[in-house]
């Protein structure tokens, strides 16, 4: 995988996390947590082992009173473009093997749902998600032909709608 793509995804994830954190702090009128003056990181001070940067995933925070959207890093296996009707079809799977079970659950919950994906250009694009029942852990996206869909073997971030609370 291209190192610049990894860096772009990491920076964008960090920006989403910081924006969400600031939004939650502003709505609850509480300042964000200040860094600890201790020489130990917060995880070690609490008696927990520190999470490595390779396994740590930044999870966006929910705004007060609303559930958080769910994100999965995905990999486009193949893309197809059709002129009439003007549509792009993307067959995809999870980028990281550790997200296999989570993506499978999200695909089952969100079959035929409206989702958003962020491609390497950094823009969010609207799509319709369909679970491929005959291919475990795979999904298919339908996008407007004029949108910036990912190309074959490109990575993208998929945002699922928040889970409905009943």
CA distance 156 to 82: 21
pLDDT digits (tens, 9 = 90+) for 87-105: 999 999 999 999 999 999 9
Q: Which of 1-10, 33-42, 47-56, 150-159 has the highest mean pLDDT?
A: 150-159
If DSSP codes are grouped into helix, strand and coil, which group holds residue 47? Answer: coil
pLDDT band at 77; cut points 50, 70, 90: very high
Question: Residue 155: what pLDDT?
Answer: 96
Question: Residue 26: what pLDDT?
Answer: 40
Mean pLDDT score across all residues of the chain: 72
First CA to last CA across the chain, in angstroms?
41
Which of the pair, 6 or 147, is modelled with greater confidence? 147
CA distance 14 to 96: 18
pLDDT digits (tens, 9 = 90+) for 48-75: 444 444 444 444 444 455 555 689 999 9
pLDDT reading at 15 higher than 90: no
User: What's the maximum distance between 2 C-alpha atoms anywhere in the chain?
Assistant: 62
Question: Residue 135: what pLDDT?
Answer: 85
Answer yes or no: are the C-beta atoms of 93 and 154 closer than 8 Å. no
pLDDT band at 116; cut points 50, 70, 90: very high
pLDDT reading at 152 higher than 60: yes
Q: Which two tokens stand for residue 48?
A: 């927990």
Which of the pair, 2 or 148, is modelled with greater confidence? 148
Rounding to the nearest 10 degrees, give the CA dihedral for residues 69, 159, 48, 24: -40
Can you list the alpha helix ranges (DSSP code H) found in the chain? 3-28, 42-45, 100-109
Whether the predicted model's global pTM rises above the 0.85 cut: no
Query: Once rounded to an integer, what is the mean pLDDT over residues 38-57?
Result: 45
How many C-beta neighbours within 10 Å does residue 88 have?
Answer: 20
Ordered by start, the domain boundaries in the chain are 70-160
Answer yes or no: are the C-beta atoms of 145 and 86 closer than 8 Å. yes
CATH assignment, 70-160: 2.40.10.190
């Amino acid at each position: 995988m291209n190192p610049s793509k990894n860096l772009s995804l990491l920076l964008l994830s960090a920006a989403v996390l910081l924006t969400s954190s600031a939004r939650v702090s502003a709505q609850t009128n509480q300042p964000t947590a200040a860094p600890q003056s201790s020489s130990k990181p917060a995880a070690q001070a609490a008696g927990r082992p520190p999470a490595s940067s390779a396994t740590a995933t930044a999870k966006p925070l929910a705004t007060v009173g609303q559930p958080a959207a769910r994100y999965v890093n995905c990999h486009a296996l193949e893309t197809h473009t059709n002129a009439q009707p003007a549509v792009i079809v993307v067959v995809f799977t999870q980028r990281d093997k550790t997200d296999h079970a989570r993506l499978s659950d999200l695909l089952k919950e969100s079959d035929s749902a409206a989702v958003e994906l962020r491609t390497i250009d950094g823009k969010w694009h609207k799509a319709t998600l369909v679970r491929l029942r005959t291919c475990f852990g795979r999904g298919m996206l339908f996008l407007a032909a004029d949108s910036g869909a990912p190309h074959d073997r490109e990575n993208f971030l998929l945002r699922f709608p928040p889970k409905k609370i009943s």
